[in-house]
Amino acid sequence: MAAAQAVDVLIVSLGSTAGLRAADEELRGALERAGASAALAHASAPARRRTLMLTDLAWARAARAAARAELARRPARAVIYSSTTAALLWPRAGAIRFDATAAGNRPGRHGLWQRPLERRRLGQAPLLLPWSEGALSETPGLALGGVRVQVLPVPVETGREDAPAARDLAALTYAANPSKKGLDRVLAAWRSVRAERGAGGELIVAGASGSELRATGLLGGAEEGVRVVGALPREEYRALLRRARVFVCAPRREDYGIAQLEALAEGCLLVSTPAPGPYVALSIARALDPRLIDADLSRALRVALEDPAPDYAERARAALAPFTRARCDELVAEELLPRLLG
């Protein structure tokens, strides 16, 4: 293999979800805009495994292989592992960026080997880059502050100013990993509200195909008032958000909530059940309209459709100021790069 030009920062990208892949691309772009050279080492997706323990092991091995191959090809002054899973079997110590830890999202038998090794890696890392304060607080022993921790959000750009004012779609939900996202609860709430209101309107289900949902038993086939659009290119998905009045979700756990932040950025009302995890959009949505955050999802959805707060979208955009690309670029240029490269 021919040697490649050295880089300042190598990002070891687990890329197990679309959100992780987008976050890694955003980070590379921010590093380059700050004047550093950056490259991505992409882990190859392993075959599906029967348990979370085996799944994490397969992904950790894939991340190690990707890091080794890229580091053998080109020197890197610093390495960032994107997720604690990517760092578990690292070939070289580096910074760790994470939306959640195994201590938070791998309870009990699901994280028997991951949690102790994760504690070791987080203790060895020269720099910790949680996506949010909540991601760090789930592991209290790591709430160190100071030079070894920097919260680095994933940027979420606010909606286009030329977006059409008309919102012709009643509701939208994102259902990749439908069980974790609580699609069963979303469908139940939607059916209940639709029946009470005498039909009308449509729930758009994005992120999962009809065949995937049929395999879970959540949808038996075509259903009036529900339209499945599957996984969409980013711009097509954001275009749907610009047409939707409500984004509705009921996650059983939320490690960050990019989909919810994007919905707020595009002017949707966010209807959600409370959920454990470092769910960044939850506190924002509660401040915007507490009626829309409710364990009774049907009640919250009914309020959003029938009695929306008139200035919700404007206040949501203001609340998202810390998540803009410009603000995240400042953090990378002024704080992250000096810490990474010394």
pLDDT in tens, 72-104: 999 999 999 999 999 999 999 999 999 999 988
pTM, entire model: 0.90
Residue-wise pLDDT tens digits, 290-332: 999 999 999 999 999 999 998 999 999 999 999 999 999 999 9
The DSSP call for residue 92 is S
- Buried (b) or exposed (e) across 33-66, using 16+ Cβ within 10 A? ebebbbbbbbbeeeeeeeebbebbbbbbebbbeb
Does residue 11 form part of some domain? yes
**Does residue 302 share a domain with residue 173?**
yes
Does residue 201 form part of some domain? yes
Number of compact structural domains in the chain: 2
Does residue 143 form part of some domain? yes
Residue-wise pLDDT tens digits, 152-191: 999 998 766 555 557 999 999 999 999 999 999 999 999 9
Closest CA to 306 of 273, 272, 281, 269: 269
Residue-wise pLDDT tens digits, 224-269: 999 999 999 989 999 999 999 999 999 999 999 999 999 999 999 9
**Does residue 132 share a domain with residue 47?**
yes
**Does residue 337 share a domain with residue 304?**
no
Does residue 144 form part of some domain? yes
**Does residue 99 share a domain with residue 28?**
yes
Backbone angles phi, psi at 307, to 5 degrees: -145, 60
**Does residue 336 share a domain with residue 255?**
no
**Does residue 112 share a domain with residue 44?**
yes
**Does residue 329 share a domain with residue 297?**
no
Closest CA to 148 of 135, 130, 132: 130
Checking if the pLDDT of 54 tops 60, the result is: yes
CB 93 within 8 A of CB 125: yes
- CATH number of the CATH domain containing 84: 3.40.50.2000
Residue ranges making up the domain that contains 248:
169-321
The rounded Cα 53 to chain-centroid distance in angstroms is 21
Closest CA to 63 of 99, 18, 97, 12: 12
**Does residue 69 share a domain with residue 134?**
yes
**Does residue 328 share a domain with residue 317?**
no
**Does residue 216 share a domain with residue 124?**
no
**Does residue 42 share a domain with residue 140?**
yes
